Amino acid sequence: MTQHDRLLIIDFGSQVTQLIARRLRELNVYCEIHPYNRVDEAFLRAFAPKAVIFSGGPASVYWQDAPMPPKGVFELGVPILGICYGQQVMMHCLGGHVEGGHGTAEFGRAFVTPAAERLPLLEGWFEGGTEQVWMSHGDHVSKIAPGFRVYGTSPNAPFAITADPERHFYAVQFHPEVHHTPKGAKLYENFVRLAGFKGDWTMGAYREEAIRKIREQVGDAKVICGLSGGVDSSVAAVLIHEAIGDQLTCVFVDHGLLRLGEAEQVVTMFRDHYNMPLIHADESDLFLGALEGVSDPEVKRKTIGRLFIDVFQKHATEVGGAQFLAQGTLYPDVIESVSFSGGPSVTIKSHHNVGGLPEKMGLKLVEPLRELFKDEVRALGRELGLPQSFIGRHPFPGPGLAIRCPGEITREKLDILRRADAVYIDQIRRHGLYDEIWQAFAAILPMRTVGVMGDGRTYDYALALRAVTSVDGMTADYYPFTHDFLGETATRIINEVKGINRVFYDCTSKPPGTIELE
Ligand code: XMP
């Protein structure tokens, strides 16, 4: 058990509960998220939180079987912060009233005005008058509970911020954890300060805790890990290796769709530098053979996904008796697989992962990064001593260059693409732009165009350059390179890469585009 102060987040099912945890980790506060129906009085006693947060959620307090907080939580004597549904349920339990129906819903940006009385929770707020917040609620509080007073109102939420400062119970109608509430982080900072947290929970502590949990979960069983060379699976592998040593074997499937020098880099780093048992499965003939003549993006993705599983399974059995499969699943991967409306969502692309394998092979999953966001994984990687050049690498998709080669894939095109991409990335690095960009890559277009080089005619491939900024890959803006940069890069590529005679820059953001071309 950790000796750090602990904060308990009781989850009522909000889409953004993990963001609360993230805001708290940014404040070096240790927290755990537990669903409301798994927390009872005994759990509360054992967990001994120094503060509690009730998340938002989709329910209404007057539904039959509405989610309720555990008995005894208000008697713990610790500060409680209720957010959105968390506010409503708090009011409901403590003697206030909540209403729903027409005209009470509010979604999107709102502005909160302060009340005359100041609240320490709101230190740093309202310096410029009102504060922008993000609302997302169907019901609203119509009467606050005894002991509570109002500290902020918005046009549609007269009880936007309420508190019983004596008991340290705070309740807000909006979501302070999302970026659209610009001062939200300050509110959490004030809350944990009022609760007396020392703020001593660091990535170092996270690492120790993660290692302890991996050992506990795995015991002396064997684990296999699909290593892609990307940051996530690499950090997961190094962390798990630190926890259980050679009980871990990594399988690196080279599908022939990697970038220039990539396979060598991965093998050198993991096998030679980290001394990890690593199976390097060179299966490029198999994959490229199966992709011959395939031009439909979904067929490509599905073919690669299916073969990947087959190959992985074939090599994983060599390990013999593995009971666990390790994956570098991140939190955004977890939420992206859940539809916002709760209903089935449209499949834009069949993302490639090793899904399906665990059931097929009777494996259990080890996913030590499941709660983390990309930048937190990078911080953990740094903590584990992975080189910065590796940690800072742009994401690279599982299907690799296949989805950067729209239309039919040939070895010739892949070879041209690899060399052009290397020049483009080199240009970006030379200009010191690599770390400003979320992801940059070249794609070879399924067309040839006419050009003139020296005194001769050329009839070669056209190349598209892509570069985007993003926080999580779910939305993205194209990167505004200067014309000088673009001109210089196009010239270098055409001069240095035989087979390309025309270069385009893709100025599409996401949406409406996607980051990859397929
Ligand atoms: P899109 O093209 O969907 O990409 O806007 C969003 C982010 O996801 C990456 N991507 C993938 N990553 N397997 C992965 O591991 C995949 O099948 C896959 N498809 C896209 C893409 O590179 C970008 O970072």
184-208 per-position pLDDT tens digit: 999 999 999 999 999 988 999 889 9
Least confident of 106-110, 157-161, 335-339, 419-423: 335-339
Report the distance separating Cα 413 and Cα 432, nearest Å. Answer: 28
Rounded percentage of the chain residues whose pLDDT exceeds 70: 94
On whether the CB atoms of residues 18 and 56 are closer than 8 A, the answer is no
pLDDT at res. 80: 98
CB of 394 shorter than 6 A to ligand 1: no
Res. 370 pLDDT band, cuts 50 70 90? confident
Mutating to test ligand 1, I would choose from 369, 516, 517 the residue with most ligand atoms within 8 A of its C-beta, which is: 516
Which of 84, 225, 250, 405 is an active site residue? 84
Is any ligand 1 atom within 6 A of the Cβ of residue 515?
A: yes
Look up 250 and say whether it is catalytic.
no
Condensed to tens digits (0 to 9), the pLDDT of residues 35-55 reads 999 999 999 999 999 999 999
Closest protein CA for atom 21 of ligand 1: 397
User: Mind listing the pLDDT tens digit for each residue in 447-504?
Assistant: 999 999 989 999 999 999 999 999 878 789 999 999 999 999 999 999 999 999 999 9
CB of 422 closer than 8 Å to CB of 410: no
**Contact residues for 418 (Cβ-Cβ < 8 A; gap 6+):** 259, 260, 401
Q: Where does the pLDDT of residue 345 fall: very low under 50, low under 70, confident under 90, or very high at 90 and above?
A: very low
Three-class HEC string of 113-169: EECCCCCHHHCCCCCCCCEEEEEEECCEEEECCCCCEEEEEECCEEEEEEEECCCCE
pLDDT digits (tens, 9 = 90+) for 288-316: 999 999 999 999 999 999 999 899 888 88
- pLDDT score at 489: 98
pLDDT higher than threshold 90 for residue 87: yes
175 noted as active-site residue: yes
For ligand 1, what atom is nearest to the CA of residue 228? 15
Nearest CA to ligand 1 atom 4: 515
Instruction: State how far the Cα of 175 lies from the Cα of 19, in Å rounded to an integer.
Output: 10
Three-state DSSP at 38 gives helix
Residue 227 CA, ligand 1 centroid: distance in Å: 16
Catalytic residue among 106, 131, 177, 518: 177
E strands present in 47-124: 51-54, 80-83, 97-99, 106-114
d(CA 351, ligand 1 centre) in Å? 7
Nearest CA to ligand 1 atom 14: 397
Q: What is the residue-averaged pLDDT of the chain? A: 92
Residue 2 has pLDDT above 60, yes or no: no
Q: Which residue has its alpha carbon closest to ligand 1 atom 6? A: 473
**Dihedrals phi, psi of 211, to nearest 5 degrees:** -65, -40
Q: Which residues contribute to the annotated binding site for ATP? A: 228-234
Distance from Cα 511 to the centre of ligand 1, integer Å: 14
Q: What share of the chain is helix, strand, coil (3-state, %, to 5)?
A: 35, 25, 40
Residue 512 per-residue DSSP state: T
CA distance 336 to 430: 34
Which pLDDT score, from 0 to 100, does residue 390 have? 87
DSSP string, 197-251: ------HHHHHHHHHHHHHHHHTT-EEEEE--SSHHHHHHHHHHHHHHGGGEEEE
pLDDT of 241 above 90: yes
Q: How far apart, in whole angstroms, are the C-alpha atoms of residue 362 and residue 382?
A: 33
Of 4, 140, 175, 241, which one is the catalytic site residue? Answer: 175
123 counts as catalytic: no
| 473 C-beta closer than 6 A to ligand 1 | yes
| Window from 102-111, 175-184, 265-274, 349-358 with minimum mean pLDDT | 349-358
Give the residue, by CA position, lying nearest to ligand 1 atom 7: 473
Q: Measured between alpha carbons, how far is residue 230 from residues 30, 105, 237, 238, 275 in Å? A: 28, 42, 11, 12, 18
Please tell me the distance between residue 506's alpha carbon and the centre of ligand 1 in angstroms: 17
The C-alpha atoms of residue 148 and residue 472 are separated, in whole angstroms, by 38
- Determine the residue type at 493: I
pLDDT tens, residue by residue, 376-386: 899 999 999 99
Residue 377 dihedral angles phi and psi, to the nearest 5°: -65, -40
**Spatial contact of 406 and 446, defined as CB atoms under 8 Å apart:** yes
How far out from the chain centre does Cα 446 lie?
Answer: 32
Order of strands, sheet of 51-54, starting from the edge strand that comes earlier in the sequence: 30-35, 6-11, 51-54, 80-83, 169-172, 157-164, 149-154, 106-114, 131-137
Could you read off the pLDDT of 211-233 as tens digits, one per residue?
Answer: 999 999 999 999 999 998 889 99
Helix (H, G, I), strand (E, B) or coil at 178: coil
DSSP string computed for 258-288: --TTHHHHHHIIIIIIS---EEEEE-HHHHH
Q: How far apart are CA 338 and CA 344, in angstroms?
A: 8
Q: Identify which of 381, 401, 377, 399 has the alpha carbon closest to the alpha carbon of residue 390.
A: 381
Ligand 1 probe mutation, 346, 351, 421, most atoms within 8 A of CB = 351
- Residue that the structure tokens 């912060």 belong to: 81
DSSP designation for 316: H
Q: Which two tokens stand for residue 452?
A: 């003139």
Alpha-carbon distances of 130 from 110, 147, 424, rounded to whole Å = 10, 25, 46
Overall pTM > 0.75: yes
Residue % of the chain over a pLDDT of 90: 76
Rounded-to-integer distance, Cα 18 and Cα 11, Å: 9
